[in-house]
Amino acid sequence: MLELFGEFLGTFILILLGNGVVANVNLDKTYSNGAGWIVITAGWAMAVFVAVVATADLSGAHINPAVTIGLAFAGLFEWAKVVPFIIAQMLGAMVGASFVYLFFLNHFKITTAPGAKKACFCTAPAIRDFKSNFFSEVVGTFVLILAVLLITLPQLEYVSLGSSKVGLGSLGAMPVALVVFSIGMSLGGTTGYAINPARDIGPRIVHTLLPLKNKDNNDWGYSWIPIIGPIVGAGLAALVYLFINSLV
């Protein structure tokens, strides 16, 4: 239960701060309104940093189903614990998105652009081309998971290979945050770089349920891309990790 609460809490913090910076930039009459892409990417990177530091000792700070699945594919996490971890991550993402709405409630009320409000919850493609959008999410997540596997994991000590606490770890907080910042700056402009199924689907559900005025279409037709794309990217990263391990 402590591990599951850690995943819930970590994903809650990730979405509160990550979607919070989007709301700060997008919503009318905030002090950060119009601050731009660099502020958003930096804010998301720091959201990852805070979430990992806060929960690394509780659960390994996966805070992302793609990380959990990638670790399982690589043989570093028990498959039996994958679904419970993902459920905890999804719930944390939904509660985090709800808190963003409550925190910025007055600004949501006065913002009239539907797309600006929806962006505070979930991602959308800059150019709608499902093949290209899917490729973007696969590649972005591949970079993230490979970084987690090759940069962070070797620095940590584990009780056993099957330990459910295999994950980012507090030592990996800043390196992984910088990887997320780099992905956002270099590759994020095509789809908004979900690279995390819980980060997109949980808040998208909240956006669907909330009584927002001038609500944009929830775009469930696109929603499979930030789910399946990151899972494929995680699997490919795990294959590369296993290949490298076979050579050493």
Give tens-digit pLDDT for 35-92. 999 999 999 999 999 999 999 888 888 999 999 999 999 888 899 999 999 999 999 9
Mean pLDDT, to the nearest integer, of 197-203? 97
Residue (of 96, 119, 120) closest to 14 by Cα position: 96
User: For the chain, first and last CA: distance in Å?
Assistant: 36
Instruction: Please report, for the domain that includes residue 237, its CATH number.
Output: 1.20.1080.10
Quote the pLDDT of residue 174: 87
The number of folded domains in the chain is: 1
pLDDT digits (tens, 9 = 90+) for 133-183: 999 999 999 999 999 888 755 544 443 344 445 555 556 688 899 999 999
- b/e 32-49 (16+ beta carbons within 10 angstroms → b): eeebeeeebbbbbbbbbb
Chain segment 104-140, per-residue pLDDT in tens: 999 999 999 999 999 999 999 999 999 999 999 999 9
Q: Say what the pLDDT of residue 161 is.
A: 41
Contact between residue 206 and residue 121 where contact means Cβ atoms under 8 Å apart:
yes
pLDDT confidence bin for 229, thresholds 50/70/90? very high
% of the chain at pLDDT higher than 70 = 92
Q: Domain residues for 143?
A: 2-247
